[in-house]
Chain A
């Protein structure tokens, strides 16, 4: 028997992260009769999933009966610029309708069609109206429904508990993790037969971001340190519409639903500039004139879709170009106008939280005035490399799902494909972990040496009397990543970023923290910075290697997509397993595409 030095808990399946993916995984594992524990850095129900607004993509065909999984698959692959794991895209498109209906059985109340079915709305890159939604607060509905289901199943949830590191057994399998309680600062260990990473994104390393403090890439980093691989880390989605003013809310998300419901983008000259930015790939299905685009909203057969509804990477780059050309707003964005296009009553009913957000935070009445918006760091397509069907990583006992996993979205994610990703692959991770456990492969020991290393690293900032304030390091990191690894990148900027990131490692090793361990945000940040640096280094490394532009990765020095780069993902691994260890990159060939899926893509082109 291991003599555990700290508070200790034992589970079959341990899930790190309590957003949509983690909660859905927990339900699945629990339904398989396993002992399940969930660990979250925040309170239950506060995860970043609540920020999702527009909806959840699922080809139910309630609004457009032409829709089906094959069209959804094709849209996802095209949106991802074909860097996607095609098996994940296939599973996602096939299974998301059942996951939506399942939520309804658990209490979700989606908006309805006239004949009482789940209403679906239009969104960028989706050929048909496909997003199940609840006004503009769909993420809240999703997390609350899953939360209530998890609670009704009496699942153990460890709230405000920060995981520092995964722990292995002596055969290299995952055996659990080491964490600390934020309220007390006391350490705690968890042993588990399988661990699911569902920790969400990494966006807090950028200055202008829609992500909360939690988006520090803990799961990405932990998985890398534990021996798993990260793919597509260069592919970061800058959502085209974040608030730009006031400064204190810069980056806060403005839902794509504004455009789905008729909102248009204009520059300072009043021009609907998106008509000038239609890439060849999307020309056949995009309106050529404002008149044609406007007809489409009422009747999709009467015209082609307006260019404001191109995939997010296309729109974000166009906005960036307009602002750089001097056609931006006073605060460096462009205008998003729905006021002149829809009635005040329609806007308040369809976009209640946007109305509220602008009114209260910016003093702007969106039923009367345009919004000032610009790109904001929103989502990472890249993540832990997993098997599509089981969500298993190459490390036995380690699984990953949701934003923390990579592959489904390729180089760019379509709006609405995230919420469906969470429940489709959250469930699959729960199944994968349960299958693994039922096969009887469990950890044989629990490496307390890894625990002690993690504890010593976490406590080191208290031992320094002279040292740096973690907040200063975080601010400088965010500014550097925004400037050097932002929406438009160049080789020299990325080279410089890599040098600076090595300097940040030195600075993090010199952090001094004031106060005690109980609920100390300065210390909490000091323990987040190693993950933030690991994911930032991963992004900079892969971005430098990808000498082309594709989806959420734009190189000014290589502005075109290069077919040679469409054959593989950059897969990163840690050489040493520590947060400051070197990160190596290899080319990981894309999954071969079965002929029947190839046919679907060819048919569409």
Chain B
């Protein structure tokens, strides 16, 4: 196969620039294979994160030709001809080359109030498949943080990170809110401190999700319905119209203003 030219951003928090490498490629390879070849031959200090190389751990997120992708799941033969540009995720501070400081996400994780189930009966809880399936969709999340990377609320406004959890944590909150056993009430927290109202459902997060989780439709919109006062959030109102939900949960009812 013909050699390929990779334009890779290199640098650290003080700045950097693109460096081009022209290397061999083989049939069936993914972007991460080519990055590894560059490390093994030309630039052993080229920094990138990776672990499983199977799309299961979410470590190797980067922007390939400007789009957030997992490097291990992006096949070279599916990219357009010509040089391929690889840059670090934009929404997070650079550590080095393709590696970013994603500690924002771990700080947000620490603020999530845990599941609060009732005491377990003898022989385990009973839950039904249709009741766990909604949560299971969100628990497919591999924490690649590409939804966070692409979300305009933080991608373009660093200071919003103080009061905005982002799509990854909205699906986490949605999962807990929909959990058949949970007895915790996180609605005020989600509304007041996690900034759910900032999301204007442009669905950028859903588009980049490598697990194809319906972040906007199945998590964020239902979550908005549950926690945000309809008077102050026209998006939630619109979401309800779009989804044409006929049944309201008691949680929804609790936050509806009196007519």
Q: Which residues of A contact B (CB under 8 A)?
A: 42-48, 50-51, 60, 101, 104-107, 109-112, 115-118, 134-135, 137, 140-141, 144, 148-149, 151-152, 154, 157, 159, 183, 212-214, 245-249, 252-253, 353, 356-357, 360-362, 469-472, 475, 513-516, 518-523, 525
Contact = CB atoms under 8 A, between A and B. Distances in A.
B120 A42 contact: no
A183 B13 CA distance: 12
A151 B108 CA distance: 10
Given A246-B29, A471-B39, A105 B120 contact: yes
Contacts of B58: 46
Given A43-B102, A48-B52, A144 B30 contact: no
A195 to B, nearest CB: 23
A475 to B, nearest CB: 7
Interface stretch (B137-145, B154-162, B219-227): B137-145
Contact of A111 (B30, B48, B51, B129): B129
B97 A519 contact: yes
B30 A134 contact: no
A101 B120 contact: yes
Contacts of B126: 115-117
A522 B58 CA distance: 22
Closest 8 CB pairs of A and B: A246-B28, A522-B44, A515-B45, A116-B126, A471-B40, A152-B114, A519-B47, A519-B96
Given A109-B139, A112-B132, A513-B45, 18 more contacts: A50-B52, A104-B124, A106-B115, A107-B114, A117-B124, A134-B139, A144-B139, A148-B112, A149-B114, A152-B114, A159-B106, A183-B96, A252-B53, A361-B75, A471-B39, A471-B41, A514-B44, A516-B45
A283 B114 CA distance: 49
Interface in B2-53: 12, 26-30, 33, 39-41, 44-53
Given A246-B29, A471-B44, A107 B109 contact: no
Contact of B56 (A137, A519, A525): A137
B258 interface: no
A495 to B, nearest CB: 30
Nearest to B97: A519
A592 B126 CA distance: 41
A513 B50 CA distance: 20
Contact of A212 (B46, B53, B120, B123): B53
21 contacts: A43-B106, A46-B52, A46-B59, A48-B52, A50-B51, A51-B52, A101-B120, A106-B114, A109-B136, A110-B132, A111-B132, A118-B124, A144-B141, A151-B110, A212-B53, A247-B26, A253-B54, A353-B55, A360-B73, A361-B28, A514-B45
Interface string B74-110: 0100000000000000000001110101100010011
A116 B124 CA distance: 10
Contacts of A144: 139, 141
Contacts of A522: 39, 44-45
Contacts of B123: 117
Contacts of B113: 152
Contact of B95 (A45, A183, A253): A183
Nearest to B137: A109
A116 B131 CA distance: 10
Contact of B57 (A46, A106, A353, A471): A46
A467 to B, nearest CB: 12
Contact of A214 (B51, B109, B139): B51
Contacts of A149: 114
A521 B139 contact: no
Nearest to B96: A519
Contacts of A513: 44-45
B66 interface: no
A101 B110 CA distance: 24
Residue among B39, B45, B55, B132 with max Cβ neighbours from chain A (10 Å):
B45
Contacts of A117: 123-124, 126
A556 to B, nearest CB: 31
B44 A469 contact: yes
A105 B59 CA distance: 28
Nearest to B32: A248
A250 B166 CA distance: 36
B51 A42 contact: yes
B135 interface: yes
B128 interface: yes
A425 B1 CA distance: 49
A519 B141 CA distance: 26
A106 B135 CA distance: 14
Given A107-B114, A356-B55, A521-B47, A248 B132 contact: no
Contacts of A520: 44-45, 47
A50 B51 CA distance: 10
Contacts of B49: 42-43
B117 interface: yes
Nearest to A520: B45
Given A50-B142, A141-B139, A513-B44, A212 B51 contact: yes
B127 interface: yes
Given A137-B56, A519-B96, A248 B39 contact: no
Contacts of B56: 50-51, 137, 140, 353
Nearest to A152: B114
B115 A360 contact: no
B12 A51 contact: no
Contacts of A118: 124
Given A51-B54, A140-B142, A246-B29, A101 B44 contact: no
Contacts of B75: 360-361
B158 to A, nearest CB: 20
Contacts of B129: 111-112
Contacts of A253: 54
Contacts of A135: 136
Contacts of A134: 136, 139
B6 to A, nearest CB: 15
B48 A245 contact: no
Contact of B27 (A246, A515, A521): A246
A246 B25 CA distance: 12
Contact of A46 (B26, B51, B95): B51
A46 B49 CA distance: 11
